[in-house]
Structures are given as structure tokens and as C-alpha cells.
Amino acid sequence: RPSLGLDLVEEFRQAVVDRTVLHLANNRVLSPTSHFEKKGDAPGVLLNAEGRKLFFAAYEKRMSEPFAEREGGPQ
């Protein structure tokens, strides 16, 4: 069942993606005026090309770290 894969990955979303986004926002790596854009009349905003580049670089960096080091656990 395809949804099983998504259910299994969901356990790691908070530890990887959410923490990466919070890190970028809290450290002001992403700027609301420089890295986001509004598309037409659609609600919300999207990352522009430069913002996506910064996000994916931070994401790749987080993914290359051992999981225990990220969570402050034993190595």
C-alpha cells in the first residue's frame, strides 16, 4: 500500500524537516522579502529559487549528520 511508506517517513519529518525550517527562520537565514514570492491570486507564498537553494543546502547538511548527534543523544 503506497500510504504505508508515507506513514513510516512521517516519524522523521519533525526531526528533519521541521527542525531545519525552524533553524532557518530563527537564525534569519531566510528573509521574508528576499526569499519568498506570491504567485498571482493564490493564497500564501512560495520560496523563490534562492530560498529553495538555501533550504535544500540546509536540508542536505542536516541529512548528512548522524541522527544521534542531531538529537543530542549518545553516539
Is the pLDDT confidence value at 73 over 70?
no
pLDDT band per the 50, 70, 90 thresholds, residue 2: confident
What is the model's pLDDT at position 53?
97
Residue 18 is classified by DSSP as I
* Average pLDDT score over residue span 37-49: 92
C-alpha cell at 36: 519568498
Report if pTM > 0.75: no
pLDDT digits (tens, 9 = 90+) for 22-39: 999 999 999 999 999 998
